[in-house]
Amino acid sequence: MTELAVTHEDGVARVTLARPPLNILSPTLIDAIESAFRELGRDAAELRAVILAGSGRAFSAGVDVQVMRDLDVPQARVLIERLHAAITAVRECPAPVVARLHGHVLGGALELALGADLRLAAASCRLGMPEITVGIPSVIEAALLPGLVGWGRATELLLLGETIGASEAERWGLVNRAIPDDALDAEVDGWARRLAALPPAALRQQKALLARWRRIDLDSAIALSMDAFARAYASDEPRLAMQAFLERRRARS
């Protein structure tokens, strides 16, 4: 039985964790996530957006504690490297990734969600980094937290190991929106459709720029951006998109 389901429709891929009820991240599921997103990246010409979701009662309650309990040092390194590789594949997907979050989003699962570009959470969702409570630090993509929520709130999440609700996560900047539970699917699908309707090359350029901006200083980021702006004109996409914009504006006037 597969632990991951991947479907495609109208340029939007949906990657669904399929290990209900809590989609605990087993080594098999972790490897499947990496493989699925690497494959999606190779199909970039048709891909416009990706929805990352979980089946059952939760997006995911995190990495399997039964697996982690009996690791030695070399095994622990292998496991965390595999999880990092999976999240890196999500982050490096050329098309924007929207995480659909519900139920619990804990530990390694929150790190996986941090690999997405946008996060929409059901109002009843609970998010947290509880690793400290089982004797290990929160690592790898947890390093993205200070940039999203600030050092004080990141420290609170990581040192206390407690969960927060979706509304608080929205106020902190951990998720983009907290959505009423019964409206979550419509909202996620709407965001994916909006992304899919945008000029695809420009969208991929913007995602790539955002990723680089996290790693470099301001002057370098501006120089990189100006180069990307000029290179956008290597294709007809800007001309066609701007012509369509002007025609719509004339039609309204």
Q: Give per-residue pLDDT as tens, 106-139.
A: 999 999 999 999 999 999 999 999 999 999 999 9
Query: Do 17 and 138 sit in the same domain of this protein?
Result: yes
153 and 51 co-located in one domain: yes
Are residues 56 and 110 both part of a single domain? yes
Q: Tell me: do 137 and 85 sit in the same domain.
A: yes
Which domain covers residue 223, as residue numbers?
Answer: 200-252
Same domain, 120 and 151: yes
Q: 136 near 68, Cβ under 8 Å?
A: yes
Same domain, 75 and 136: yes
The domain that holds 179 is classified in CATH as: 3.90.226.10
pLDDT, tens only, 193-234? 999 999 999 999 999 999 999 999 999 999 999 999 999 999
Please indicate, yes or no, whether residues 190 and 208 belong to a single structural domain of this protein.
no
The reply to whether 74 and 173 lie within a common domain is yes
User: Any idea which residue has 């992304």 for tokens?
Assistant: 195
* Whether residue 40 is found in the same domain as residue 92: yes
Count how many domains the chain has: 2
Tell whether the model's pLDDT for residue 180 goes beyond 90: yes
Same domain, 25 and 97: yes
pLDDT in tens, 90-104: 999 999 999 999 999
State both tokens at 107: 């530990």
Mean pLDDT across the stretch 37-55? 91
CA distance 149 to 89: 23
Please give the single-letter amino acid code of residue 208.
A
Confidence of residue 1 (pLDDT cuts 50, 70, 90): low
Residues 152 and 64 in one domain: yes
The predicted-structure confidence for 144-160, as pLDDT tens digits, reads as follows: 999 999 999 999 999 99
Total Cβ atoms within 10 A of residue 76: 12
**pTM score:** 0.95
pLDDT at 45 over 80: no
CA 120, 123, 128, 134 torsion: positive or negative? negative
pLDDT the model gives residue 183: 98
Residues above pLDDT 70, as percent of the chain:
99
On whether both 141 and 236 belong to a single domain, the answer is no
